[in-house]
Structure 1
Amino acid sequence: MWQGLLAFVALAAMAGCGEQNGPEAQMAQGQAPNVKIAQPLAQDVTEWDEYTGRIEAVSSVDVRARVSGYLEKVNFKAGEKVKKGDLLFLIDPKPFKAQLNYAEAELERARAKHELAKNDLERAKRLFRAKAISEEEHDARSKGLREAVAAVQSAEANVYTARLNLDYTKVRAPIDGRIGRELITEGNLVNGGGADATRLTFIVSTDPVYVYVDADERSVLKYRRLGQHIGAGQTPVRLAVADEDDFPHQGTLDYISPREDTATGTVTLRGVFPNTDDLLSPGFFARMRVRGSTPYPAILLPDRAIATDQAQRFVWVVNQDNQVEYRPVTLGAHIGQSRVIKEGVKPEEWVVIEGLQKLRPGIKVNPERLSLAAPY
């Protein structure tokens, strides 16, 4: 019996030794866990909603031939900037010069016939008054003049068309922008006009640029109300491309689609951004932030200070006795790496921001006080 009792005491002692190594035993012995605490940051904040999209050019043009002929010259370097009206391609102009010369000669012939018909009518009028010719002859001379006038107009139109075709042999830039590579090289035959016109190159405008994204219905209603408050087309937007962590490019929201896509339940938004340094190119992947509120006062805590208990979000607050208290909180918007705390914490309270995993309600901690930096 005594042997069994001694064995029980020995086992209890071993178990007690093991318990002395746990966090609760250490706390009982005065070994409070080390934590870092800070007071919430109180400041005015502005909410921003983030979307992904693509950069698009404000203007994009496929340069095509308007007349057929052999390509005689390429007058640009691929990828360079061009101005509206710059000469890009030259199509062999000789056949079109010949057509223009022929049309001008036909015009001169028509004008000569017009002068003759005009003189004939003047003579016919005098003879008709003297009753030297019949009325039918007078009418014939009058209609002959009208026919000659129409012939002159037709010849003038032919000259205009021939001169226009000759001018089209000089393919010029229709817009300012950056040009692509030449798709047809010198010496090749190009087709002009119509759906089969040869595509020679393309030009995209570079400054400014558009970014298109899709937003949900509630967000669009929010942006429209915000636009009514600050002015249409004045809602700020920010842009970041693939190698940027912050959002350094600033622009405005200049377009909200008047129609929702019922298949996706989204509405297209468009931001416009200056691009004076040519960093942004059409087709680039982009992240765009849209301002979703006017500035308002808020209390902020880092995301790492907020824990989850099933569906409840909470923080640990340290009181004057260095004891931790479980404090449920109501969260607001993300601001950088921080969250707006709508309810649950006051600005003067100290909240644990590091060492949360060691804590239990009511235990004492060894706090290190820190100051939070602004989230942006």
Structure 2
Amino acid sequence: MSKQRTWPRHVAWSVLGLGLLGLLAWALLPSPVPVNAARVTVGPFTDSVIEEGRTRLRDTWNVSAPIAGYLQRVTLEVGDSVEEGQTLFRLEPSPAPALDVRTRQQAEDNLQAAQARLQAAQANLDTARADQRFAEAEYERYRQLHLRNLISTAELEQRQNQRDRLRALASSAASGVEVARFEVESARALLAVASGQRSEADQPLLQVRAPVSGLVLSRHRCCEGSVSAGDPILELGSLDDLEIQVDLLSMDAVRLRPGMSVNITGWGGEPLKGKVRRIAPSGFTRTSALGVDEQRVPVSVDFSRQLDLATLGLGSGFRVDAEFLIWTADEVLQIPTSALFRHQGGWTVFVIEESRASRRTVELGRRQGLVSQVLAGLDQGELVIIHPGDRVAEGVKVVVDE
């Protein structure tokens, strides 16, 4: 019968101590840092500028009242089509102001005085014509006597002079009658205006016609009433002149050139195509929603092809999103912009090599929002860390979160 072999007590304690030291060393080892990663890919790349814009009409026509007068009701409404030469609205003479009691009494007195002057002028005319007839007859008798040498030539000339003088007096008296008659008519017209109402008789009308064919964009006056010369009445325009104005930051506007392609979205329908027509040579200052002064430059965009804008529903003053395509390519090496950070004055990324973070400097090309073009420093398929935190450093072991 064999005896069971037993270990010495000090050996058992030694083995137990080594095990505990191993567990402690394993517990103190640094654990891998969890990170998010993305692949370096090759694909289409677009360098563009996106900004909100507004549609507008390149040319509009403001039709105003050419003279002061009384505007008849404007029947045209916003959106109505008009043809060149079509009557837009009509003007008639302004109504005379109403007369108060005192002014009316003065007008009645003026009318009576004018009528009295007319009667006096008529009486003067009758007297002058009677004297003229008598002088004509006297001259004719003296002329017959002169032919028979019964009177001298001086007496005949005296009668002729008297005849001519009375003729002139009769003509002057006739003019006085005409003047008095006009005064009566003027006084009667002034007295006829008692309440300021327009006369029911036909008034001469001024018809203002459309300078061009198009649509009524706005109506400043609709109801009848007095207007002054130059008062705006209607605004006309044609949807064929529709364009887009985008106020870009000056740092983006300098990258544009006339003729560049523009994608038009965000207006409520399918994307449309456009092109840059004009970049304004001067900018302006606009305060942003955050209270920052920004230098903006107006950029005009034309639609690339003729569109039936009325069918599409687009009009003046509509909001759109304009994407200016500065540069595009089909095969571009690119990484997420969130993987980049600055190190010693250059752009750097962390590349995962054998489960460890390796710092690498890269050369960048164009940057567009969430992605950036890589010119050198990375190869397709490599894994880069995005949003590296403070725990990520050179040589640190990492694990990619799924």
TM range (shorter): 0.5 to 0.7
Give the match for residue 326 of structure 2: 292
Note if contact 1:40-1:300 (Cα within 8 Å) is conserved in structure 2: yes
Structure 1 length normalisation: TM-score? 0.54
| 2:49 partner SS | strand
Q: Match of 2:382, as an amino acid?
A: E
CA distance in 2, matches of 1:332, 1:84: 55
| 1:295 partner SS | strand
Deviation at 1:55, TM superposition (A): 4.2
| 2:277 partner SS | strand
Give the match for residue 330 of structure 1: 363
Q: Is the counterpart of residue 180 in structure 1 residue 205 in structure 2?
A: no
Unaligned runs of 5+ in 2: 1-23, 94-203, 286-293
Give the count of matched residue pairs. Answer: 254
Q: Is the counterpart of residue 349 in structure 1 residue 388 in structure 2?
A: no
Q: Match of 1:82, as an amino acid?
A: S
Deviation at 1:297, TM superposition (A): 2.9
| 1:76 partner SS | coil
Q: CA RMSD in A?
A: 4.1
Give the match for residue 360 of structure 1: 393
Q: Is the counterpart of residue 28 in structure 1 residue 25 in structure 2?
A: no
Q: Is the counterpart of residue 190 in structure 1 residue 262 in structure 2?
A: no
Q: Match of 1:254, as an amino acid?
A: R
CA distance in 1, matches of 2:337, 2:395: 23
CA distance in 1, matches of 2:243, 2:28: 61
Deviation at 1:317, TM superposition (A): 0.7
Deviation at 1:82, TM superposition (A): 2.6
The 10-residue stretch of structure 1 (63-72 or 339-348) with the greater mean CA deviation from structure 2: 63-72
| 2:73 partner SS | strand
| 2:375 partner SS | strand
Distance 1:71 1:304, change over 3 A: same
Say which one has the larger Rg.
Answer: 2
CA distance in 1, matches of 2:319, 2:28: 53
Distance 1:76 1:184, change over 3 A: closer
CA distance in 2, matches of 1:361, 1:294: 35
Note if contact 1:67-1:169 (Cα within 8 Å) is conserved in structure 2: no
Q: Match of 1:28, as an amino acid?
A: L
CA distance in 2, matches of 1:302, 1:217: 23
Note if contact 1:175-1:205 (Cα within 8 Å) is conserved in structure 2: yes
Distance 1:351 1:217, change over 3 A: closer
Structure 2 length normalisation: TM-score? 0.51
Deviation at 1:45, TM superposition (A): 1.9
Unaligned runs of 5+ in 1: 1-19, 94-165, 225-232, 370-376
CA distance in 1, matches of 2:295, 2:218: 36
Q: Is the counterpart of residue 41 in structure 1 residue 41 in structure 2?
A: yes
Give the match for residue 105 of structure 1: none
1:238 to 255, 263, 277: 263
Give the match for residue 120 of structure 2: none
Deviation at 1:361, TM superposition (A): 0.9
Cα shift readout 1:178-212 (whole Å, capped 9, x = no counterpart): 421333521x2335xxxx42211223444522315
Give the match for residue 372 of structure 2: 339
Deviation at 1:35, TM superposition (A): 1.9
Identical positions, percent? 19
Note if contact 1:178-1:206 (Cα within 8 Å) is conserved in structure 2: no
| 1:73 partner SS | coil
CA distance in 2, matches of 1:256, 1:313: 33
1:46-85 matches, cutoff 5 A: 46-50=46-50, 55-66=55-66, 68-77=68-77, 79-85=78-84
CA distance in 2, matches of 1:204, 1:81: 11
CA distance in 2, matches of 1:357, 1:169: 79
1:202-221 matches, cutoff 5 A: 202-207=235-240, 208-213=242-247, 220=254
